[in-house]
Structure 1
Amino acid sequence: MGSVNSCETPVLSEAPVSKDKDDYCDYAGPGPWYTCKPDGLHVERFAKKGPASREGCVPTTLPELLKRAAETKWDKPALKIERPLPALDSEGKAPESLPDDQWKTWTWKQHYDESRKAAKGFIKLGHQPFDAVAMWGFNAPEWMFSTFAAMMAGGMAGGLYPTDTPETAAFKVAHSGASIVVFEDKPKLDKLLKAGHAMHVTQDARHTVKAFVTYGYTPAAGETVDVKGRKVPVLSWSDVIEMGGKESNGEVEQRTKALKPGQCAVLVYTSGTTGDPKAVMLSHDNVHYAGVSVFMTTLKQGAPGFLEGECQERLLSYLPLSHIAGMAVDITMPAVLTALSSNHMTTYFARPYDMKAGTLKDRLCAASPTLMLAVPLVWEKIADKLRSLGAANSGLKQTIGTWAKDLGLQRSKACLMGGDGSYPTGYTLADMLVLSKVKAALGLDQLKYAVTGAAPIRVDTLEYFGSLGLDIHELYGMS
């Protein structure tokens, strides 16, 4: 029947909490340990050893890491998206995913070059150091380019949730000090203009929107919109790239080199449930360290095969990029891991309607991710759907399925902290006959690491995926 003696990674008997003070940062000293000013600079802290030491996480900026990724993995795919977007048919059904070679692709060098041209375009339009670039729309490569372009131009990136009301979106644009607004489609621009009064919480002319840039349609030549008596240009993304391509590299190089690891890189807004949304300021060093400590250290320990050799790691981008999880996992982490490891990461983009249309599985099958982050609701919806399909089986098919999942759950529990790490007899056969096929149907047969976060997840959901041979790891953190 086949048996496996133990898990591929050691099973811990207790949580790996170090009691060595040298593993932790020392808070003694003059500081400042934090700042609330856009041009503020916090002092970096280091442990004497480990991931938090200066050697474990050499201070740098995110544009520098993107540049390193472009130099070392220049021809490897960084971003892939289906363009033009395959539309739903008259009955609301989605067409099949395009073959992989038909997805529009940017290599890591092209990612860097596009971001740099965008930065030069933003500077030409009036973006100043410590200004923000606000992004509003569904996940797209232009989000990634705009994020790094904002930093290269000496500023910071700030995302808006796709579901933000006009007033909330306009408030964030003003509060962040955005000089450039990158948005998806005409309805989003109309919503911002509808709440235009909220874009002027300050009378400081330096913090006014200098341009609106869209990546979802082509505005009319010379198009402008009125914002409190000012004519603000509306440009296409290609207009900005063309504009930036004509500019010299001098100014953008000067601004990029002037960046400090302790300066603000991104703004992540709270939901605003008790008042106006609050902007959480995250430094280059903060985001860089998260990538090194959480992913390069934790994943290497808990995900056999992840970041080993010179292979491609893949993820599917579909969660809001304005959220800390989407920003860190989809935008910055791929650059960090590609720059600092021997392999490279490729981000695939879901279609905007996948969640509502129930077609996310199709994009998972196309991307075949090796890393997947999902909030509990997504995992629970997938589990509930699979349970209903399993209940529809009868006879021998259901019996075999139940037997396989029982063995899968035994394996999963044995590999949890405090378990003995043993695989039950028959698990290899169960995986071959049932479990591997279920994972393949979900597009998760190549998955090395599954993550959940942002909210509590039901134990029965964790156990259900464990029974399929997929162990979901809970990620804790704060914006």
Structure 2
Amino acid sequence: MADLPFATHKKDQPVKIRMGDGTAGIEAKTVVAAFDKIVQKFGSKPALHQKVIKAGESAADTPWTTWTFQEYRNNVDSFAKSLLSIGFEKFDMVNILGFNAPEWHFANFGAIMAGGIAAGIYSTNGPDGCKYISEHSEAKVVVVEGVKQLEKYYSMASDLSHLKAIVMYGPDELPADVSQKLSVPVYTFADFLKLGESVLDSALTDIGEAQNPGDVTTLIYTSGTTGPPKAVMITHDNITWTANAQLKTMGRPLDNDDHMISYLPLSHIAAQMLDMHCPMQRGVQIWFAQPDALRGSLGATLKDVRPTIFFGVPRVWEKIYDKMQIVGKSTTGFKKTMSTWAKGQAAEYWENHQFEGNQSKPLLYPIAQLLLGKVRVALGLDRCMACYVSAAPIEVKILEYFASIDIPILELFGQSECSGPHCTNSPSGWKIGSIGRPLEGTISKLDPNNGELIYSGRHVFAGYMSMEDKTKETVDSDGFLHSGDVVSIDDCLQNGVPNTGFMHITGRIKEIIITAGGENIPPVLIEDQMKAAMPALSNAMAIGDKRKFLTILFCLQVEINEETGMPTEKLTGEALETSKKIGSSATTTIEAQTCDKWKKYFDDGMKVANGNAASRAQNVGKWALLDGDFTEPGGELTPTLKLKRSVAADKYSEVIEALYA
């Protein structure tokens, strides 16, 4: 073990486990061992739930289908045996492309049980994006959801030299001409499971016992904000240790009476940790949302399931916030008075109960709780003991609003490269606007030159597959991960350990704007100030690299096409309300672009934001309003809704150049 490297670029090279004291010293376990233990404990208990909707039926009229932990494991083992039957070997790769479903889990854990590696592909990827990952990972089997995803492989399966089979799940039937379209065998999920019926159970047992906690077992492909996706190699110990470290921060131990909704892309580390690995440690039940969850159906699933833990990316919380603002504006009279009073009581309570707060309770807070409880019920969050947010920045005003309706949201920070979380707020220790404190058993420090967060621990990944230089750039010789994020750390230390206070992200190294005058400018801080000063904004992007002054692109809140996910020009939410408030007749972005009242709104808002800037160098000189908003289908956002700055800069280059003309 002592001779092993901290990091590698080879998928078959075990890495050193960063053992330490306390939490860092718990026994290293494989994913297989964790699965064995949970099946022994909860075998007959419910594990997974899905609405299997038939043609012509709706989700509302469809009952839930349930798999117990034993049935879950049986499907996983069957998938693993079928892999072995077609010549699958240790460290071979399975790609999974599709929306969250039991089959996603069966294939993921089946690959691991067979000694291989699972790698998800975002379902929004086009054929070229799918080919890149399947080619780079040398996938032996690709699992796809339905004909739509299957068709992405028609034009390139013959170029994938390692591909042995494609497996399709979901209600679709295989196309009659599929054998003419593809040069490899294509199976329905049910038919594929039959291939391994003659493989002995002992074959899987032997493979499981031979696995090492330091072996690579999962690939997470980065969303590619700064270049081609990198394959983040995650080990067994990364998964099992990190899941347990995160679970320790919860307000209470979780068990089979806890419930979570699976709806975020399982190709992302956050969803894998939340939907697969943390539940696997405690027996938490998972309920699969509908594929259109982020286009509107998530609300119905929330009310149906009433989860006890809920994780939302910022956009999910923002959408709920926007709807609540509309409801609030339509409330009048006594009901409005009581609502405002109750929110004031809750806001005071949660302000007092942040870390180092006075912990006092407003005298009439229990009555406010009863009133606000109706809101929690309406949202489906009445059983929720912890709500989380991560994956992208969220405005403090959103967090403060939810606290005022008695729904505190805990922000956390992590990366694919640290197997999910590194810092988290917890029910027992949180501060609004911070990303929380580091997990126990990890070590954090700051680069004295630029404030970059550097950290180590058993959650740090094994390296980027087939990218030796990138791996060495990211993990140093002492095993510390260079995060790329600039942070500040307060003095609320854990047990007096240095650099274990609450952290605030102030910028990202690769996103720092360096002006022509040599000033280093963190764009996120500027963008947040603009959005705080102008609530009608949905997004903003600061510009100024190698320029004499800063400019900014504004996106107003607009309606999104439900079918395509693309933005329209029609104002909605706070933007439409603002238009009425300032006396403008504009109902579209095109009309707002030429409206003097909107010009004054932006000029005044920018003046306020500039006045709150940390220095004059961070003042913005000019702005431009775009026709629509930044979206994933539009190319400006990643699947986890992070801004692709270089893509947006290229797409709106004419607008940007006009600002500097």
SS of aligned partner of 1:265: strand
CA distance in structure 1 between the partners assigned to 2:415 and 2:197 by the alignment = 38
Are the aligned partners of 1:131 and 1:155 in contact in 2 as well (CA < 8 Å)? yes
One-letter code of the match for 1:76? K
Matched residue, 1:254: 206
Alignment of 1:216-365 (within 5 A): 216=170, 217-219=172-174, 224=179, 231-295=183-247, 297-299=248-250, 303=251, 305-307=252-254, 312-336=257-281, 338=282, 344-356=283-295, 358-365=296-303
**How far does residue 194 in structure 1 lie from its aligned partner after superposition?**
2.5
- Residue segments in structure 1 that go unaligned for 5+ positions in a row: 1-27, 89-93, 339-343
SS state at 2:192 partner: helix
Residues 182-193 of structure 1: pairs in structure 2 closer than 5 A: 182-193=143-154
Structure with bigger gyration radius: 2
Distance in 2 between the 1:97 and 1:471 partners? 33
Q: Supply the distance in 1 between the matched residues of 2:18 and 2:317 (Cα, whole angstroms).
A: 37
Q: CA deviation at 1:196?
A: 4.2
1:311 Cα deviation after fit: 5.1
Supply the distance in 1 between the matched residues of 2:291 and 2:54 (Cα, whole angstroms): 9
Q: Which residue of 1 aligns with 2:7?
A: 34
Equivalent of 2:399, from 462, 473, 478? 462
Question: Among 320, 323, 342, which residue is 1:382 paired with?
Answer: 320
Amino acid at match of 1:136: L
Instruction: State the distance in 2 between where 1:416 and 1:85 align.
Output: 47
Q: TM-score, normalised by structure 1?
A: 0.83
2:381 corresponds to which residue? Answer: 444
Identify which of 155, 165, 168 aligns with 1:211. Answer: 165
Q: Distance in 1 between matches of 2:392 and 2:85?
A: 42
Contact 1:87 1:95 in 2 (8 A): no
Q: Which residue of 1 is the match for residue 47 of structure 2?
A: 78
Is the CA contact 1:306–1:448 (under 8 Å) kept in the aligned structure 2? Answer: no
Which of residues 34, 45, 67 is equivalent to 2:18? 45
CA distance in 1, matches of 2:285, 2:336: 37
* Residue of structure 1 in register with 2:33 after alignment: 64
User: In the superposition, relative to structure 1, how do residues 406 and 316 fare at CA in structure 2: closer, same or farther (>3 Å)?
Assistant: same
What is the CA–CA distance in structure 1 between the aligned matches of 2:328 and 2:320, rounded to whole Å? 12
* Equivalent residue, structure 1, for 2:457: none
Pick one of 304, 310, 328 that aligns with 1:366: 304
CA contact (8 A) 2:157 2:163 kept: no
Compare relative contact order (CA 8 Å, sep 6+) and give the higher one, 1 or 2: 1
User: Among 357, 361, 377, which residue is 1:419 paired with?
Assistant: 357
Which residue of 1 is the match for residue 415 of structure 2? 478
Give the Cα separation in 1 of the matches to 2:165 and 2:348: 58
CA contact (8 A) 1:223 1:235 kept: no
8 Å CA contact retained: 1:115, 1:146: yes
Contact 1:127–1:210 under 8 Å retained in 2:
no
Q: Residue type of the partner of 1:132?
A: M
**Counterpart position of 1:25:** none
- Report the Cα distance in structure 1 between the residues aligned to 2:187 and 2:310, rounded to whole angstroms: 34
Q: Which has the higher strand share?
A: 2
AA in 1 matched with 2:167: V
SS of 2:174's equivalent in the other structure is: coil
Aligned to 2:579: none
Deviation for aligned residue 1:242: 2.1
Give the corresponding residue for 1:23.
none
Paired-residue identity, %: 35
Answer whether contact 1:97 1:362 (CA < 8 A) is retained.
no
Alpha-carbon offset, residue 219 of structure 1: 2.2
Partner of 2:614: none
CA distance in 2, matches of 1:219, 1:96: 27
Amino acid in structure 2 at the alignment position of 1:52: A
In 2: Cα distance, 1:372 partner to 1:87 partner: 30
Structure 2, gaps ≥5 residues long: 417-661
- Taking a change above 3 Å as real, the CA distance of residues 279 and 221 of structure 1, as seen in their structure-2 partners, is same
Q: Equivalent residue of 1:194, what SS?
A: coil
In 2, Cα distance between equivalents of 1:126 and 1:222: 26
For the aligned residue pairs, the C-alpha RMSD in angstroms reads 2.0
Task: Indicate the SS of the match to 1:79.
Answer: strand
CA shift in 2, pair 1:168/1:311, >3 Å? closer
Quickly say closer, same or farther: Cα 1:270–1:417, change in 2 above 3 A: same
Q: Assess, with a 3 A threshold, how the Cα gap between structure 1 residues 136 and 293 changes in structure 2: closer, same or farther.
A: same
Contact persistence 2:4–2:14 (CA under 8 A) = no
Partner deviation per Cα, 1:282-327 (whole Å, 9 max, x = no partner): 10100111111112x111xxx2x442xx651100000000011011
In the TM superposition, residue 232 of structure 1 has moved relative to its aligned partner by: 0.6
SS in 1 for 2:415: coil
TM-score by length of 2: 0.61
Structure 1 residues 65 and 225: alpha-carbon distance in aligned structure 2, compared to 1, 3 A threshold:
farther
